[in-house]
């Protein structure tokens, strides 16, 4: 392909308009190659040839209106687009320009010079936009690197200050008077506040650069809420604020990162307590919504000062702090809600606030329900029928010492990654880890095989995991298999019902196994 030739992709379904546009292109520029298609689907297929510019009619046989341009933009965001608009579609064409098209021309009212100028300007604008975008990305990367470096450098002296203050407060450097103790406690409080600010800066930097990570597990929202409330109850009691929990007893498990979710809960609860006056109340609720059965809704409601309409649109932005807030409530950098929003977004959820000045606030976020049936459905069925047999493979990693040797989290994460590589993606499912991360880890695989053939899989898993450096020195590896008994055939049962029945039986097998493990742990603790 000659790089000096302008490659034009013309997507136009009217033969007369297409011929006229092609004629104008030839009149305007001899070094032009035109490819014309009359459907959006054909135009999308031609994008692989990397045209120089696209001339696009918005109303086509297989797509109409702004959706036509958005389809092109999603598939080829770097290719300049000039809209070819009918006389009565100028409003729509203008909207497309606001969404990212470079220009538009009204059919039948442009000549060769107009078309040539529009294409040249479109290519120029696109190049300028890409250069600007690149510069912004470099600037953001530099800023994030700077903040990350400064934050890390600040941690060392702050840790030293913290250690020496606690040493003085504990009387290890000699007796201190009550007045000196009060002063030291004030300094320690400020040091802890600085530590929190630095942590938030690092988290916000990771969020901006796309390095914020989550490790979803199958967890109980009820347990996390109880943990967060227990942690913040002393703070609430110090202000004489009531702290209550209202959780629906039918609440299902969620698929979420327990540490990150706890971080969101603590941010919301801390803010609620901070902005609620003495004798007020804060309530944490968790429930299902009929309109959205695939999500668990968690909300934190306070009886505080509320948020005005302008602030409500800004509170989740980076570094935002309410200008009307009292100085003693500004203990951070305004990053908590920004980080919370990014964490919830990574889970595929939403977070929002509802409030009126003087009437308190409610912050609500959603997390996905853990649905074993949906997870199993793509692999336990074949040709619209259930596979004949299933086995539950269980992998236990138990550290040889407490605390474990080395970086235990890194060890079990390596084992989990190897486990995912040892299964057949079309017939086996590695289930999300259960509960919060603890001293030992247990992973489960639902395999579409029988007990006799499952030995090949377990042998492969053991051989691969034992190749990890020092894994046998750090922990014991136990692999066991359990056959999932076939369900009793029910006349008229749908495939969806059969998958749900399998999910129920897998859940029962997992819960029975986990209960036996906890029972053994309790027995060993007593001995």
Q: How far is CA 348 from the centre of its chain?
A: 5
pLDDT recorded at residue 327: 47
Two tokens at 427? 């017939």
pLDDT recorded at residue 489: 62
Question: Is 361 in the same domain as 381?
Answer: no
Within-domain flag for 321: yes
Containing H/E element for 162? helix 112-169
Two tokens at 297? 């809704």
Within-domain flag for 200: yes
Question: Is 184 in the same domain as 235?
Answer: no
Within-domain flag for 168: yes
pLDDT recorded at residue 226: 93
Within-domain flag for 175: yes
Within-domain flag for 116: no
Question: Is 23 in the same domain as 98?
Answer: yes
Structural domain that includes position 279:
217-368
DSSP secondary structure code for residue 60 in this structure:
B
Long-range Cβ contacts of 267-271 (<8 Å, 24+ apart)? 267/336, 267/337, 267/339, 267/340, 268/300, 268/340, 268/363, 268/365, 269/228, 269/229, 269/232, 269/243, 269/300, 270/232, 270/235, 270/336, 271/336, 271/337, 271/363
Long-range Cβ contacts of 317-325 (<8 Å, 24+ apart)? 318/204, 318/208, 325/275
Question: Is 182 in the same domain as 235?
Answer: no
Residue 57, Cβ density class (10 Å: 0-12 exposed, 13-18 middle, ≥19 buried): buried
Question: Is 285 in the same domain as 364?
Answer: yes
Within-domain flag for 459: yes
Within-domain flag for 118: no
Last-in-domain residue among 208, 236, 271: 208
Last-in-domain residue among 110, 144, 173: 110
Two tokens at 250? 């039918």
Question: Is 400 in the same domain as 479?
Answer: yes
Containing H/E element for 353? strand 351-355
Each residue's pLDDT expressed in tens, for the chain with a length of 527 residues: 455 778 889 999 888 888 888 888 888 776 788 889 999 999 899 988 889 899 988 888 888 887 888 888 888 888 898 888 876 677 777 777 777 788 888 887 888 888 888 888 888 888 888 888 788 777 767 766 776 667 667 777 888 888 888 888 888 888 989 899 888 888 888 887 787 777 777 777 777 767 788 888 999 899 999 999 999 999 999 999 999 999 998 888 899 999 899 999 999 999 999 999 998 999 999 999 888 989 999 999 999 988 888 888 888 887 777 655 554 555 556 788 988 999 999 999 999 999 988 889 999 999 999 999 988 988 888 888 888 899 999 999 999 888 887 888 888 888 999 999 999 888 899 999 887 767 788 999 999 998 888 999 999 999 999 888 778 888 899 999 999 876 666 667 788 888 889 998 888 888 777 766 555 555 555 54
pLDDT recorded at residue 140: 67
Within-domain flag for 52: yes
Two tokens at 380? 């336990």
Question: Is 99 in the same domain as 82?
Answer: yes
**Beta-strand pair 441-447/385-386:** unpaired
What is the value of pTM for the model shown? 0.64
Question: Is 280 in the same domain as 165?
Answer: no
Question: Is 222 in the same domain as 354?
Answer: yes
Quote the number of domains for the chain.
4
Q: Are 125 and 105 in contact (CB under 8 A)?
A: no
pLDDT recorded at residue 488: 63
Specify the CATH number for the domain of residue 31: 3.40.50.2300
pLDDT recorded at residue 97: 77
Specify the CATH number for the domain of residue 201: 1.10.287
Q: Are 401 and 515 in contact (CB under 8 A)?
A: no
Q: Are 38 and 13 in contact (CB under 8 A)?
A: yes
Residue 440, Cβ density class (10 Å: 0-12 exposed, 13-18 middle, ≥19 buried): middle
Two tokens at 299? 């909300």
Question: Is 399 in the same domain as 499?
Answer: yes
Specify the CATH number for the domain of residue 355: 3.30.565.10
Specify the CATH number for the domain of residue 432: 3.30.70.360
Q: Are 360 and 303 in contact (CB under 8 A)?
A: yes
Containing H/E element for 81? strand 81-85
Q: Are 195 and 162 in contact (CB under 8 A)?
A: yes
Question: Is 362 in the same domain as 250?
Answer: yes
Question: Is 340 in the same domain as 485?
Answer: no
Q: How many helices (H) and strands (E) does the chain have?
A: 15, 18
Name which of 267, 255, 270 is nearest 221 in CA terms.
255
Last-in-domain residue among 191, 208, 225: 208
């Amino acid at each position: 392909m000659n790089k000096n030739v302008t490659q034009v992709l013309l997507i136009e379904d009217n033969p007369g308009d297409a011929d006229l546009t092609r004629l104008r292109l030839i009149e305007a520029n001899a070094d032009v190659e035109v490819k014309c298609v009359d459907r959006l689907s054909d135009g999308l297929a031609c994008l692989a040839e990397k045209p120089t510019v696209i001339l696009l009619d918005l109303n086509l046989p297989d797509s109409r209106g702004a959706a036509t341009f958005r389809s092109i933009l999603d598939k080829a965001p770097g290719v300049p687009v000039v809209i070819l608009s009918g006389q009565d579609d100028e409003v729509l064409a203008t909207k497309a320009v606001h969404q990212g098209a470079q220009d538009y021309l009204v059919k039948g009212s442009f000549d060769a010079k107009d078309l040539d100028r529009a294409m040249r300007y479109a290519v120029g604008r696109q190049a300028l936009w890409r250069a600007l975008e690149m510069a912004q990305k470099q600037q953001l990367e530099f800023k994030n690197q700077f903040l990350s470096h400064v934050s890390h450098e600040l941690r060392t002296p702050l840790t030293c200050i913290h250690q020496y203050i606690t040493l003085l407060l504990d009387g290890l450097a000699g007796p201190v008077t009550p007045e000196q103790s009060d002063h030291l406690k004030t300094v320690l409080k400020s040091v802890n506040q600085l530590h929190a600010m630095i942590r938030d800066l690092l988290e916000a930097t990771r969020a901006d650069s796309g390095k914020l990570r989550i490790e979803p597990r199958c967890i109980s929202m009820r347990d996390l809420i109880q943990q967060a409330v227990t942690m913040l109850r002393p703070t609430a009691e110090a202000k004489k604020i009531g702290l209550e929990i209202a959780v629906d007893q039918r609440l299902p498990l969620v698929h979420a990162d327990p540490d990150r979710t706890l971080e969101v809960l603590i941010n919301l609860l801390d803010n609620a307590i901070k902005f609620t006056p003495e004798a007020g109340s804060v309530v944490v609720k968790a429930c299902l919504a009929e309109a959205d059965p695939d999500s668990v809704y968690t909300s934190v409601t306070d009886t505080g000062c509320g948020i005005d309409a302008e602030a409500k649109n800004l509170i989740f932005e980076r570094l935002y702090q309410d200008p009307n807030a009292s100085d003693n409530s500004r203990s951070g950098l305004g990053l908590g809600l920004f980080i919370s929003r990014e964490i919830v977004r990574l889970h595929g959820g939403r977070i929002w606030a509802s409030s009126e000045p003087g009437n308190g606030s409610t912050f609500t976020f959603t997390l996905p329900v853990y649905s074993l049936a949906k997870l199993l459905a793509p692999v336990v069925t074949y040709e619209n029928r259930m596979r004949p047999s299933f086995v539950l493979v269980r992998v236990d990693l138990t550290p040889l010492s407490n605390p474990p040797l080395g970086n235990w989290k890194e060890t079990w994460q390596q084992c989990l990654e190897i486990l995912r590589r040892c299964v057949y993606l079309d017939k086996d499912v590695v289930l999300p880890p259960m509960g919060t991360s603890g001293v030992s880890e247990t992973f489960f695989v639902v395999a579409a095989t029988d007990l006799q053939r499952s030995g090949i899989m377990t042998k492969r898993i053991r051989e691969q995991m034992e190749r990890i450096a020092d894994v046998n020195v750090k922990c014991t590896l136990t692999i066991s298999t359990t056959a999932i008994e076939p369900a009793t055939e029910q006349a008229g049962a749908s495939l969806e019902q059969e998958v749900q029945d399998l999910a129920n039986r897998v859940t029962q097998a997992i819960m029975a196994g986990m209960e036996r493990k906890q029972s053994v742990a309790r027995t060993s603790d007593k001995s």
